[in-house]
Chains A and B, each alone.
Chain A
Amino acid sequence: MERRSFLKGFGVVAACTALIPQIANAAEEAKKVVGPNEMNYDSAVAAITGGKPVTPSAKVAISAPEIAENGAVVPVKVTVESPMTNKDYVKAIHVLASKNGNVRCANIYLTPANGEAYFGTRVKLGGTQDVVAIAEMSDGTFLSAKQNVKVTIGGCG
């Protein structure tokens, strides 16, 4: 009985090793391809803020899985605490994936008519990284929050 389950365990691992060389090649090939909108994190933040400081704040809540079971569909939700009145509202929510080739995911320009500063979506993540939300407030300040997402690869296809 012990021998039997031992052999089965071995079979399982043998199956997965068959895949490793393919994955390595795919990763190398992917490196050569540069996307059309390539932009790194610092440049993207600068483009959003025009160089103004970004303050991490508990007013911005970002939710994304700590462990994503795949990188192709990662749920992300952002809410920003705000009365959403004409005088005091969230002008924009920017969602960034810190290590994607193009870190920009979405720039959401809100109005008081939203009633609540919320944006929900799903993003593709090229690997483990931070998903960052930057909120642009009507007073011209920028607040942020981030969530680290570990992307697991693997499984059997």
Chain B
Amino acid sequence: MKTLIKIKPKEYKVGDVVKVDFMAMHPMETGMRKNKDTGEIIPANYIDEVKFMFNDQLITKMIIWESLSVNPLMSISFKVSGAGTLKVIAKDNKGQSVESSEQITPKG
């Protein structure tokens, strides 16, 4: 599962509230779509849980459903409390999971 983490704005200092955009490459199958050729229903396959951690402390936990668009975007705010590692752990309903991280380096 390919992922992308973006911190906006790019430069920030301790105490600033930044936006964290997390995107994952995922089909987000609803379990309601049919395969055009075979007519068979494509089994549901969607990201169902995402955790945002900062220096191993849980910031935000998300329960996600199949209604999110393909290659879903999940964006939150985060108050920069210092330098460290922002980690995002995403898992889908089939048990596939991915961990991605981004360094938080406040200027001043």
Q: A105-B68, A106-B64, A109-B60 are in contact. Are A114 and B78 (CB under 8 A)?
A: yes
Cα of A115 to Cα of B104 in the assembled complex, Å: 15
> Which residues in chain B, 9-56, are within 8 Å of chain A measured between CB atoms?
17, 19, 21, 28, 30-32, 34, 41, 44, 54
Question: Is there an interface contact between B65 and A37, defined as CB atoms closer than 8 Å?
Answer: yes
Q: At the interface, is chain B mostly helix, strand, loop or mixed?
A: strand
Residue A113 is within 8 A (CB to CB) of chain B in the complex: yes
Q: Which of B19, B21, B30, B59 contacts A113 (CB 8 A)?
A: B59
Interface size on B, residues (CB 8 A): 34
Residues of chain A lying within 8 A (CB to CB) of residue B34: 29, 33
Question: Is there an interface contact between A119 and B76, defined as CB atoms closer than 8 Å?
Answer: yes
Question: Is there an interface contact between B67 and A105, defined as CB atoms closer than 8 Å?
Answer: yes
Q: A30-B32, A124-B67 are in contact. Are A116 and B17 (CB under 8 A)?
A: yes
Residue B103 is within 8 A (CB to CB) of chain A in the complex: no
Residue B98 is within 8 A (CB to CB) of chain A in the complex: no
Cα of A120 to Cα of B75 in the assembled complex, Å: 5
Q: A100-B67, A114-B79 are in contact. Are A109 and B54 (CB under 8 A)?
A: no
Residue B97 is within 8 A (CB to CB) of chain A in the complex: no
Q: A116-B17, A121-B72 are in contact. Are A35 and B66 (CB under 8 A)?
A: yes
Tell me the smallest distance from the CB of A55 to a CB of chain B, in Å: 23
Cα of A97 to Cα of B67 in the assembled complex, Å: 8
Partner-B contacts on A (CB < 8 A)? 29-30, 33-37, 72-74, 77, 84, 97, 100-111, 113-124
| A-B residue pairs, 7 tightest by C-beta | A115-B79, A120-B75, A116-B77, A115-B17, A122-B69, A107-B63, A105-B67
